[in-house]
Structure 1
């Protein structure tokens, strides 16, 4: 197979891009350093289909999330991917938070998200008897999804279209050639190396996407491409089935470092709390959950779930967010850039693709395909 388009990284976004590009292009190759797809951020998250509520107006996060929300529900229905449009409550537990809800409601309207309804304490209690809040916003288009089944769908679609998936392959660097193509250098688990040429490079490497960009010769500090790792832990909540029927979020943290410790349900109605947001200055990949964090999770959750007990919380899992901001920095948008202006025609870098990357994945894939079509 002549390789024309190389996608680096087989997370949910890389797989979505592969599925989209392989519809009309031959020679699509997907490289993944792990032995299977979706082993990092894509499988260590809340599995939420977001509505596009919080993100800056006219940002890629807002636009692609709102578009992706609609595309994803349609895809799930057509392809029988397990999901549920359960809805979400953003709750105010103090009176001074009600004004924040009104601001969020207007922001969501500006982003084109499905209309949010303001609820009173009485209405909240009727919907969710175990929640205590003085007001809430209800988002009807927020839902949950089986993320592995979604990724499996994308992978299957890409491979049926002729794309080739190569696991256990780490990209060490990407080298620009004189003929308009790129030399991709790879390392296998046994230490053996190899290299091949490709016309297009789509960098979907998630936690390593800034390293891949730097390997090409892009100054990632000057361009604002350097990633900062934030760890997010989850605790399961041992409660009866049906304890909550919606996702429950507090008002968000400043600069969207995280959305606060929220309560989510999965498709089997298990409840988990999280994630928190802990900056990892050394970019450690540590998926352990510190049992001592149980107390802080409990205190955060009992503000809106006062009936829970500390011993109902058990360590669940952790994930790492590839964010473009350090502590104290303002929120940053997705970077999805075709790099001709930097001297790298045919390279598309996707960097800082954190939440709502899963929701936005089908829209991101279309956007990448459009960038490639415009370039020719």
Structure 2
């Protein structure tokens, strides 16, 4: 018979992605004895390390939404954090490009939405001005976002982990929560790993990313009405074999379910393109297929040449992919972040985080503060 050990701890965070790490750090700095449970063997192996690493300005999101507010708050907090700790990042700016006159109305709508969100440095420029900045572009008009930047996401997560651990926190890797029961005001987490463990805690943060709905569905006493259905939108990336043609990030006018195949730069100046949108099914108990199919490159060439006509044949190579943790199905508008706390579901001490896709990285410190405030 397997021996089951039981421990009591002040707070437990499920998931060691950027949101889980930021939330755990906030709890530990507030004096909570905090443990992070991560089913993989390292931090940030899923959505947090498989994205464009962009520090977003807060342009696209509906006014009054959590995405809009937390992106703006998070951008300021993140930039201050990165500067104060001398972590790798760069404020390179972004151009959102209309490649034909039919897109100019949408470009104006984006500018209006950005200003409604409090993005006060967005600037509408002509095609000639855009081409003067980036001669390789095809542009009828563009929006310039000077406050958009890039960050080394892994360095940032390592810093969060270090500060969390310095504050007395711990991370348990290869630890998966299989069931969550309730005893009065405590959660009892049944955890598999090197040995089977039960953890007692009064504070539980579900920051499991792609798997947050699945974790929530394993919670005794949580009404299923507060657990959204998970949908998985795979985003593929291709890298550029030649020198980057631009110094700014280049985004097309957004498309359904994403921001279009954009050109971003990493901290070394290497250009990469993506993500596209590929809806996939992930069966219970299996992992997503992160392989990038070479044949998807044809769609990338077509999309990129709308704003960079001189993209050479054979210049793209499959790079990596990530999965967006969607809570709305294909064909529906992207949902807002869902931060579901006691005020929403009635379970004291519990916060579930659902649908934390872009701009989650940018908003991470603001989300962490919001989570701490909900408790």
TM-score w.r.t. length of structure 1: 0.94
Residue matched to 2:372: 369
Q: Distance in 1 between matches of 2:151 and 2:110?
A: 24
Q: Cα offset for 1:142?
A: 0.5
Deviations 1:330-364 (A, max 9, x none): 22111111135534211000011111000000100
Q: Does 1:67 align with 2:73?
A: yes
Q: Is the 8 A contact 2:226 2:345 kept in 1?
A: no
Q: Distance in 1 between matches of 2:227 and 2:203?
A: 22
CA RMSD of superposed structures (Å): 1.3
Residue matched to 1:187: 192
Residue matched to 2:340: 337
Q: Distance in 2 between matches of 1:315 and 1:21?
A: 39
Q: Is the 8 A contact 2:243 2:271 kept in 1?
A: no
Q: Is the 8 A contact 1:12 1:358 kept in 2?
A: yes
Q: Is the 8 A contact 1:100 1:251 kept in 2?
A: yes
Q: Distance in 2 between matches of 1:113 and 1:171?
A: 40
Q: Distance in 2 between matches of 1:361 and 1:310?
A: 38
Q: Cα offset for 1:282?
A: 3.8
SS at match of 1:216: coil
Q: Distance in 1 between matches of 2:183 and 2:99?
A: 58
Deviations 1:7-27 (A, max 9, x none): 000000000111111112231
Deviations 1:244-276 (A, max 9, x none): 10100000113xx11000010111110011000
Residue matched to 1:130: 136
Deviations 1:132-169 (A, max 9, x none): 11100001111000000000010000000001111110
Residue matched to 2:206: 203
Q: Distance in 2 between matches of 1:47 and 1:280?
A: 23
SS at match of 1:22: helix
Residue matched to 1:100: 106
Q: Is the 8 A contact 2:212 2:353 kept in 1?
A: yes
Indicate the larger mover: 280-289 or 58-67: 280-289
Q: Is the 8 A contact 2:213 2:227 kept in 1?
A: no
SS at match of 1:310: coil
Q: Cα offset for 1:234?
A: 0.3
Residue matched to 2:275: 275
Residue matched to 1:235: 238
Q: Does 1:349 align with 2:355?
A: no
SS at match of 2:29: coil
Deviations 1:5-56 (A, max 9, x none): 1000000000011111111223111110111100000000000000111111
Q: 1:114 to 1:224 in 2, by over 3 A?
A: farther
Give the one of 5, 12, 20 matched to 1:14: 20
Residue matched to 1:289: 292
Runs of at least 5 residues in structure 2 that lack an aligned partner in the other structure: 1-6
Give the one of 302, 311, 319 matched to 1:299: 302
Residue matched to 2:311: 308
* Structure 1 residue runs of 4 or more that deviate by more than 4 Å after TM superposition: none
Residue matched to 1:251: 253
Q: 1:295 to 1:26 in 2, by over 3 A?
A: same
Runs of at least 5 residues in structure 1 that lack an aligned partner in the other structure: none
TM-score w.r.t. length of structure 2: 0.95
Give the one of 162, 170, 184 matched to 2:176: 170
Q: Does 1:113 align with 2:116?
A: no
Q: 1:340 to 1:53 in 2, by over 3 A?
A: closer
Q: Distance in 2 between matches of 1:127 and 1:250?
A: 16
Q: Cα offset for 1:321?
A: 0.8
